[in-house]
Amino acid sequence: MRQALVAGNWKMHGSRAMARALAQGVVSGATELDSVEIVLLPPFVLIPQVAGELADSAVVLGAQNVAAAAEGAYTGEVSAAMLREFGCRYALVGHSERRQLFGETDDLIARRAAAALREDLRPVICVGETQREREAGETEAVIRRQLDEVLKVLPRESVGQVVLAYEPVWAIGTGRTASPEQAQAVHATIRAHLRTACGALADRVRIVYGGSVKPDKAAELFAMADVDGGLIGGASLRADDFLAICQCAARGGG
């Protein structure tokens, strides 16, 4: 049985005051939700502040990216060891905004994921197709290519530590949520592909869905067999909406 995971990607939003209020709101509502792992992903500079708010709670801290290198002349990057020192347990890698706006390649994303795992930071690896790729019938091929690059570099025994996020690019921030059937179909493809590459470990990997998940959409998505939670953007900026989504995950979507 895989524990559900719901992560809130704040993107480049917030201030110290907002981070305090939002983290406190999530912590106070999370006390009855121990069957779901709740992760907050604030911008780098707000990590120390949010770490303070999450201390003594079950809510977990993560970052929105992580360097591929351990140390050195990489201006603007933040290493996995630095993130660990400030209390992070997870790091997003390969978000479509990083791929599309900042030119991050499959290879770089794979190396970021490997660097995270070396420091015991769990990568949440995002994969997903664009609208054009879906319409061209390329969804499966795109997802396989993105996954294969990662599987090539990750030590096999660490694959169970990874979280995969299926985020169709056309659904992110657009209000066009994938249907539960569309999400399940791709999640099942991901799991089957993982099973071919790593055998039974595939059943330990949590595969979460991201793309315009709102409280009214979450239950039906999380009810699908291979949807193990969500990666939430816009709706994670309001504690009540985010908690409502976490409640759906705690109920297993039912």
| Contact residues for ligand PEP, defined by CB under 6 A | 9, 11, 167, 172-173, 210-213, 231-235
Q: Is 187 one of the catalytic residues?
A: no
Buried b (16+ CB within 10 A) or exposed e, 45-70: ebbebbbebbeeeebbbbbbbbbbee
Q: Which is nearer to ligand PEP, 113 or 198 (CB)?
A: 113
Q: Which is nearer to ligand PEP, 172 or 239 (CB)?
A: 172
Q: Are the beta carbons of 1 and 34 closer than 8 angstroms? A: no
We find the least distance from the C-beta atom of residue 7 to ligand PEP, in angstroms, to be 9
Place of tokens 């999380």: 222
Q: Tokens at residue 183, please? A: 């999400």
Minimum CB distance to ligand PEP, residue 231 (Å): 5
Residue 117, SS3 per DSSP: helix
Which residue among 95, 104, 129, 149 is the active-site one?
A: 95
User: How many angstroms separate the CA atoms of 213 and 242, rounded?
Assistant: 10
C-beta of residue 236 within 8 angstroms of C-beta of residue 242? yes
Residue 85 one-letter amino acid: E
CB of 156 to ligand PEP, least distance (A): 27
Angle, helix 106-118 to helix 139-153, in steps of 10 degrees: 40
Minimum Å gap between C-beta 205 and ligand PEP is 18
95 annotated active-site: yes
Phi-psi bin for 175: left (phi > 0), alpha (psi -120 to 50), beta? left
- Pick the closer one to ligand PEP by CB: 32 or 240: 240
- C-beta of 14 vs 211, nearer to ligand PEP: 211
State the catalytic residue, choosing from 37, 97, 149, 167.
167
Catalytic residue numbers? 95, 167
